[in-house]
Amino acid sequence: MPTKSYHYSDGKNSFGPLTLEELRTKQIGPNTLIWTEDLVTWTKAQDVPELKDLLINTVPPTIPPSMSGESAIPPSLATDRAANTHYLRPPKTYLVESIITTILCCWIFGIPAIVYASRVEKKFYAGDLAGAESDSKNAKKWIIINLVACGIVWLLTLGLFGIGFLNSIV
């Protein structure tokens, strides 16, 4: 039977897959976010049953994070950052709004909105919470740009037809 793999997040980056033995060498706290294939979303380590003894018997890492290719954020800051992000679900994707405004308005400005919107959940479930939040805000920004551009195009069109109509009357 294959061993279960774990991923953990410092609130910005995710690390893994790791076995339970490898996870023991990381300094994770009760509020460190953990994900496995069994979990629907990122969960605090204290809420994962098989990690209860790990939190009591934490072993310091033998290799400094800067040498192992991992983030050089001290574990205490990493767990604090993870504890301060209370995401149970991803930020709003704005995917439906992006598609609707692309169809009804300017596709040139709608395509970036769709691209950003489609990346929100992927980044969230990969542990990149800041990236997911950023892409959500960018999708919303491009939707607004698209709506403003559409409004300007409609006003110009109506203005030109109005001028044409007035010229035809006179």
Q: Are residues 77 and 103 in the same domain?
A: no
112: pLDDT strictly greater than 90: yes
The residue out of 48, 65, 84 marking a domain boundary is: 84
DSSP code at position 60: P
Q: What is the pLDDT of residues 119-143, one digit of tens each?
A: 998 888 888 888 999 999 999 999 9
Domain membership of residue 115 (yes or no) is: yes
Helix runs in the chain, H state only:
20-24, 52-56, 65-68, 75-84, 95-104, 107-125, 129-169
| pTM exceeds 0.85, yes or no | no
Q: Are residues 62 and 100 in the same domain?
A: no
Q: Are residues 14 and 47 in the same domain?
A: yes
115: pLDDT strictly greater than 70: yes
Q: Are residues 51 and 74 in the same domain?
A: yes
What domain count does the chain have? Answer: 2
Estimate to the nearest angstrom the gap between the alpha carbon of 146 and the chain centroid. Answer: 22
| Rg of the chain (C-alpha set) | 24
Q: How far, in Å, CA of 148 to CA of 109, rounded?
A: 10
Q: Are residues 12 and 71 in the same domain?
A: yes
